[in-house]
Amino acid sequence: MSPIDEASVDTRASHPTRTPHDESLWGAVREALRGSHRDYTEGPLRHAVMVLAIPMVLEMLMESIFVVADVFFVARLGSDAVATVGLTESVLALVYAMAMGLSIGVTAMVARRTGEHDHEGAALAAVQGLLLGCVVAVVVGVAGAISAPRLLALMGASPEVIASGTNFMRVMLGGSASILLLFLVNAVFRGAGDAAIAMRTLWLANGINILLAPCLIFGLGPFPAMGVTGAAVATTIGRGVGVLFGLSRLFSPRSRLAVGRGHLRLELTLMRRLFRLSGNGTLQVLIETASWIALVRIMAGFGSEALAGYTIAIRIILFALLPAFGLGNAAATLVGQALGAGKQERAVRSVHMAGKYNTIFLGVVSLGFMLGAPAIIAPFSHDPEVSAFAADGLRVLAAGFLLYAYGMVISQSFNGAGDTRTPTVLNLVCFWLLEIPLAYLLAVPLGMGPHGVFLAITIAFSTFTALAVLMFRRGRWKERVI
């Protein structure tokens, strides 16, 4: 019997009186965009994956547009401005790591409680996650705003980049609360299975950023010309509005969780459990993002043109990978809810189905990147040397997409199950023990330059996928209690 047939049997066997859904392709699209209150622990699995994945992919697409939009506009200011964004984003990677780590714990716990039909526990977990995020945001924002120029110097920035980029970094780090809380609010919605709200939150935030960025960078109309700093201001305002919208939906009586005043309290036992879960998640992402910082440091040694090319290539790669992470997030939610409902086999099938879809998607993207790299790079730079570095990076990194597509789904599924330790160990082995030394070896002693750095990234991600598949088959993630 095929997985789809098994899912259909599961549907008939449980809750036969539930409200019927349109199980066609277009029915899934409509339900995904409109929002759904379906029980994802039962019913046809393919439809459940699609209803969750479509808004999550679109949400991540909006996040990836955040990544690309600033570089698109800032590139008109020259390679130093692009280098400023690249260096700042490398430091911000630590903030993203904390936001994503906290989100991993929140999504896993909310999904597990939702699968158990413990809506009170899910709402309390959501509140504890947001409180924890507020504390982290205050500490990071103050420290980052004060130390911005020193951080740029530490990253190897030239005096010109430090002079022009300090305010950009100060605004981005000082406004990091908008990053942390936006990630956490959307993590709550994803864990509860209300992915359409998370998608709309990113649409709103991104739309404001795209409208404001050129106005504040170039001084269009009544706006002041703030240069590269204007990009930071626009991004922070856009994300801040997104946070306010998400919170308004979270506290709405129509929300799946319907968080109310009674949930606004500190639960120390629950907070400690969430902190342990999120701590592993944060360490997991920190290991990966710290490796990106090390790679930027290696790349900076080859000049501003190489660094600008690297920045553009990575931004475009993220544009493709972030939507692919949407499928991974869908798998994480389905795994967490299925384990909460005691349906381990359904959790396994969710991973395989999401992995297959992700491989198809990134396979198509990879082919497009490898064949059309120069045309894709052209809108982002008119410097032939920068474009050459970026095109090379795009081709080399895209070559590893087919393998990494499955690996990212498995990694997110471990997190959805609450097994944040396994991806942490895999990240340590693949990105610190393999990727960084290999990048330096290929780029410097072996004389391959920036091409060697790109090649090391592809090798590390491919190794990650191979090891993740082995750990997934061992099955210990199914027994995790959270």
Distance CA 456, CA 441 (A): 9
pLDDT of residue 24: 65
| The pair of three-digit structure tokens given for residue 346, joined into one six-digit string | 């359904």
Q: Give the up-direction half-sphere exposure of residue 106: CA atoms within 13 A in the CB hemisphere.
A: 30
Torsion over CA of 251, 256, 262 and 264, rounded to 10 degrees? -60
For residues 59 and 312, the model is more confident at 312
Read off the pLDDT band of 214 (50, 70, 90): very high
Residue 417 phi/psi, 5° resolution? -80, -10
pLDDT in tens, 333-355: 999 999 999 999 999 999 999 99
pLDDT in tens, 381-416: 888 999 999 999 999 999 988 889 999 999 999 999
Residue the block writes with tokens 């002041």: 224
Residue 296 has pLDDT above 70, yes or no: yes
Read off the pLDDT band of 4 (50, 70, 90): very low
Counting the structural domains of the chain, the total is 1
Confirm if 399 and 457 have CB atoms less than 8 A apart. no
| pTM for this model (two decimals) | 0.80
By three-state DSSP, how is residue 481 classified? coil
Confirm if 404 and 462 have CB atoms less than 8 A apart. yes
Distance CA 328, CA 44 (A): 19
pLDDT of residue 64: 67
Question: What b/e string do you get for 157-190 counting C-beta neighbours within 10 Å, with b at 16 or more?
Answer: bbeebbebbbbbbbbbbbbbbbbbbbbbbbbbbb
DSSP line for 318-384 = HHHHHHHHHHHHHHHHHHHHHHHTT-HHHHHHHHHHHHHHHHHHHHHHHHHHHHHHHHHHGGG---H
pLDDT in tens, 258-271: 788 888 898 989 98
Would you tell me how many other CB atoms lie within 10 Å of the CB of residue 451? Answer: 16
Residue 9 has pLDDT above 50, yes or no: no
pLDDT in tens, 13-59: 333 334 455 566 676 777 877 877 778 988 888 888 888 888 888 88
- Average pLDDT estimate for 238-265: 89
pLDDT of residue 109: 94
pLDDT of residue 10: 40
Distance CA 210, CA 68 (A): 10
Residue the block writes with tokens 């036969």: 16
Distance CA 105, CA 90 (A): 23
Residue 204 domain boundaries: 3-14+22-479
Confirm if 454 and 397 have CB atoms less than 8 A apart. yes
